Amino acid sequence: MPAILGQSVFDGGLEFPAMVVHRDALQHNVATMAAFVRDHGMELAPHAKTHMSPEIAAMQLAAGAWGLTAATPRQAEAARGFGARRILVANQVVDPAGLTWAAHELEADPAFEFLSFADSVAGVDILAAHAGSRPFRVLVELGHEGGRAGCRTLDGLMRVAAHAQGTPGVELAGVAGYEGGLRTAEEVRKYLDSLREAVEYVRVRNPILTVGGSQWFDVIGRELVATQARILLRSGAYVTHDDGYYRERTPFNRIDGELRPALEVWAHVLSVPEPGLAIVGMGKRDAPYDEGLPIPRRGGVTIMKMQDQHTVVRATGLKPGDLLAFGISHPCTAFDKWRSLPLVDRDYRVVGTIRTDF
């Protein structure tokens, strides 16, 4: 049974396990990052992959986001449905069906902006082969050794840029990078230098420079402040933050400000088969487990393992039917486990629904 608007999630109508979204934290995070990019002369293209939620996307767009970032054409289509007039696919896009959709959408709506990455001549040619009357705008992607995609050298990048500039159906719009895999502020600074250099080299009018921005937006804010490019931050996880992975890595551990964890899973103790051992009705189906296990809110509870539908914990004083709360680690693998989540106020009263469209 779904949660009932105006009632507490503990009033008996809602089935557990359930993941709830705290409205105050969500609103705080949306406002905090909107202010951060504004104060640093940047713009936010929040990564919609994190939540894929029309309600959260609407909050981000209402707070002034440039548009939305997506990881796949499928997500771009959904983001378009969320009301985004500008969409950035943060990959080289090679999917014929996805590109056909994007070309149609560009033709149907002159105000629609669609951007994607390219890191190869082959990638530019695939775009060109699917272009309609409006060209596909691309950002040439500069990677780094040990990184994910992206040209490994500035020379390589310039070859792709030149090819894009000479290819009908494709228009060079700037440079893309991803600093999320780097380990130190010094590595990030060096990489941002090379991105800035790339922007100067490609010489397009009103260039865009996009970077990731979840773990290093402080360094990005300082280093890119004087760059003559429109800086698009693609942070996604900030919107709900977490009690694990991002709690440890947020730049707000180094600068003033904070993000607040907005996601919480509630589940029943199903069984206490041995003294000190409890089986909780929350599993891999309900909460993320890939970048840290859930974080029990109650002291003295230690997670031993998670199974498909159960979590085995060590704890004393629990009995069947007790409800336990857990913070989560890694929002990007939290939302995709749920089709709808109750949005709650401080008293756990349901004030809305957060739907997802994965």
Footprint of a second copy (CB under 8 A): 1, 12-17, 49, 71-74, 91-98, 100-101, 119-120, 122-123, 126, 141, 143, 147-152, 268-274, 279, 281, 283-285, 289-290, 307-310, 312, 319-321, 332-333, 336-337, 339, 358
Quick one: tokens of 63?
């707070």
The candidate with the shortest Cα–Cα distance to 171, out of 133, 206, 138, is 138
- Closer to a second copy by CB, 13 or 41: give it: 13
- Nearer to a second copy by Cβ, of 1 and 111: the residue is 1
Q: Nearest distance from residue 99's CB to a second copy, in Å?
A: 10
Nearer to a second copy, 110 or 321 (CB): 321
**What is the smallest separation between the CB atom of 126 and a second copy, expressed in angstroms?**
5
CB of 252 to a second copy, least distance (A): 22
- Give min distance, CB of 332 to a second copy, in A: 5
Q: Estimate to the nearest angstrom the gap between the alpha carbon of 57 and the chain centroid.
A: 11
CB of 312 to a second copy, least distance (A): 7
Q: How far is the CB of 108 from a second copy (least distance, A)?
A: 15
Q: Which is nearer to a second copy, 164 or 332 (CB)?
A: 332
Residues 6+ apart with CB under 8 A from 183: none
Compute CA distances 267 → 56, 270, 296, 344, whole Å.
24, 9, 11, 16
Q: Give the number of other Cβ atoms within 10 Å of residue 251's Cβ.
A: 21
Contacts 24+ apart (CB under 8 A), 75-83: 75/48, 75/49, 76/101, 76/102, 76/114, 77/101, 78/48, 78/52, 78/357, 79/48, 80/105, 80/112, 81/54, 81/357, 82/48, 82/53, 82/54, 82/57, 82/58, 83/54, 83/57, 83/58
| Residue placing its CB nearer to a second copy in the complex, 168 or 321 | 321
CB nearer to a second copy: pick between 17 and 54: 17
Neighbours of 336 (CB within 10 A): 15
Cis geometry, peptide bond prior to residue 17 (ω within 30 degrees of 0): yes
Residue 64 Cβ, how far from a second copy at the closest point, in Å? 25
Q: Which is nearer to a second copy, 183 or 205 (CB)?
A: 183
Q: Closer to a second copy at the Cβ: 193 or 290?
A: 290
User: Shortest CA distance to 345 belongs to which of 53, 15, 61, 9?
Assistant: 9
Q: What's the min distance (Å) between Cβ of 311 and a second copy?
A: 10
Rg for the chain, CA atoms, rounded: 22
Tell me how long the chain is. 358
Tokens representing residue 134 in the block: 């409006």
